[in-house]
Amino acid sequence: MISKILFCLASFVIVAMGLAHFVYTFHGNKLQPVDANTIQQMKSGRLRITNETSVWKAWIGFNASHSMGAILFGALFSYLSLKHFTVVRESYFLQLVGVIFLGGFVLLARKYWFSVPYRGSLLAFVLFSAGVLGVHV
């Protein structure tokens, strides 16, 4: 039972972070550069891979899809943990995917992001990993 709670808590943390990130992507200026000139350069700048989009549009798309990935991960594991816990409990594959995904978030947050997503990702990783350990003890 404790593992189920830990998986759910980890999932809820990731969903909350993903939802906040999604909202910040489309509302307000929290994910925008402070310097207005940088925004203008991003809007006029092109990527080498294609001329079909700007760096700005790619920035928005990357942020939105990043958010959606976190929301999907959290929603899926929340649902499985609440409604079909035996699937999570008996699947080494799902447990490994969860640990690797959240561990990846921790590493990315530590190297490229800032303290709030780092701490949230670390919390989710620790909760999820403890849930995995609890299943196998």
Query: What backbone phi and psi angles, to 5 degrees, belong to 125?
Result: -60, -45
Q: How many domains does the chain have?
A: 1
User: Is 125 within 8 Å of 108 (Cβ atoms)?
Assistant: no
Range(s) of the domain holding residue 70: 2-136
Q: Residue 99 contacts by C-beta under 8 Å, 6 or more apart in sequence?
A: 125, 128, 129, 132
pTM reported for the whole predicted model:
0.91
User: Is 21 within 8 Å of 63 (Cβ atoms)?
Assistant: yes
94-120: pLDDT as tens digits: 999 999 999 999 999 999 999 999 999
- Asked if the model's pLDDT at residue 88 lies above 90, the reply is yes
Query: What backbone phi and psi angles, to 5 degrees, belong to 47?
Result: -90, 150
Residue 120: how many CA atoms within 13 Å on its side-chain side? 19
User: Is 81 within 8 Å of 7 (Cβ atoms)?
Assistant: yes
